[in-house]
Amino acid sequence: MISQGSNEAQLAEMVGTSAPYISRLINKKDGIINKVFVEMLEKLGYDIQITYVKKETD
């Protein structure tokens, strides 16, 4: 966000939510991708690429 010149309040306004909610998403220890997180990244000019790789079994 900092490199994009945005703060949590500005980003929250862009995606239609609150700054405390944005803060919780950013600082969350157990990562979770949800609609607001995706919108945040899109507003900052990022695409999300998720790759699923099958785990190797012993």
- Give the domain ranges of the chain: 2-43
Distance between CA atoms of 42 and 38, rounded to whole angstroms?
6
Distance between CA atoms of 46 and 48, rounded to whole angstroms?
7
pLDDT value of residue 20: 93
Distance between CA atoms of 6 and 31, rounded to whole angstroms?
21
Question: For the chain, how far is it from start to end, CA to CA, in angstroms?
Answer: 41
- If you count them, how many residues does the chain have? 58
pLDDT value of residue 45: 93
pLDDT digits (tens, 9 = 90+) for 42-52: 899 999 888 88
Q: Write out the two tokens for 21.
A: 């909610």
pLDDT value of residue 4: 65
Residue at 14: amino acid letter: M
pLDDT digits (tens, 9 = 90+) for 1-42: 655 677 889 989 988 999 999 888 888 776 666 778 888 888
